[in-house]
Amino acid sequence: MNIQSKAINDVVAERQRQIQKKGYTPDHDDLYEQNELVRAASEYTNQVIGRGWFFERHPALYQSEVASDFWPWDKSYWKPKSPREDLVRATAMLIAEIERLDRKSEKTDSEVQQHE
């Protein structure tokens, strides 16, 4: 079964862009221990839920929507684009968080094994 699709390819490309062009490397992501990546992904998803219907007729209004207080970073980093692009970015952020949790778990497992 081939699960590759344009959506999956776009999420992978977005994750690579975040790392290569934005500098959001695994080491950088490991600094986020307060659910920042999940909160940011949630905020983009909520934008799609609450305003996605509006995009076709008024893209500029969709894109100018202000982030809520739930947004974990400075408001200048909040940049909604389109419902699809926002879901791709949200999914890439969730992957970054899962990878961060995996690294943290591996590190913990390795530390436990060293002390046994």
pLDDT of the residue at 106:
86
Residues in the chain where the model's pLDDT stays below 50: none
**Contact by Cβ (8 Å): 72, 39:** yes
**Contact by Cβ (8 Å): 51, 12:** no
The closest alpha carbon to 77, from 65, 67, 62, 85, belongs to 67
Cα–Cα distance measured from residue 44 to residue 62, given in angstroms and rounded to the nearest whole number: 11
Give, as one character, the DSSP assignment of residue 81: -
Could you read off the pLDDT of 20-38 as tens digits, one per residue?
999 999 999 999 999 999 9
Cα–Cα distance measured from residue 1 to residue 4, given in angstroms and rounded to the nearest whole number: 9
pLDDT of the residue at 3:
75
pLDDT of the residue at 112:
58
pLDDT of the residue at 59:
96
Backbone angles phi, psi at 81, to 5 degrees: -115, -65
**Contact by Cβ (8 Å): 21, 14:** no
Cα–Cα distance measured from residue 5 to residue 113, given in angstroms and rounded to the nearest whole number: 39
pLDDT of the residue at 61:
94
pLDDT of the residue at 107:
75
